[in-house]
Amino acid sequence: MTEEMHNGQEEIFSKRIRAGKRTYFFDVKATRNSDYYVIITESKRSKFDDGNFIKTKIHLYKEDFNKFSDALNETISHVKSNLLPEYDFDEYARRDESSDGSN
């Protein structure tokens, strides 16, 4: 994605993940002082079916990257290993690949 300016913040990188009725965005932005941070956004349709979307954002700053990543990986690993050890999580990846047609 090209670099763009939004409200004085330079967008460096963006990744979108469609997941059923939700879409997740992972955006890297830079401040005017060339400091970087990540914004994780969940977007989903309003339950009122009014055409609006509800967006929830998390701003993640560089000093928290390692702690956040470690906690997220540990939590996902716990669910996969201890709570749902027999579940086939790769089922979704295979389904996405077959419906996408681009891989």
Confidence of residue 51 (pLDDT cuts 50, 70, 90): confident
Quickly count helices (H) and strands (E) in the chain.
2, 5
Render the burial of 11-27: b for 16+ CB within 10 Å, e for the rest. beeeeeeeeeeebeeeb
Give the CB-side neighbour count of residue 55, counting CA atoms within 13 A.
11
Count up the domains in the chain and report the number: 1
pTM of the model: 0.75
DSSP 8-state secondary structure symbol assigned to residue 79 = I
Confidence of residue 103 (pLDDT cuts 50, 70, 90): very low
Which CATH number belongs to the domain containing residue 64 in this structure? 3.10.450.700
Identify the domain containing residue 38 by its residue range.
Answer: 4-100
The pLDDT value recorded for residue 16 is 97
- Decide which of 16 and 45 is more confident: 16
Which tokens go with 38? 């990540």
Confidence of residue 2 (pLDDT cuts 50, 70, 90): very low
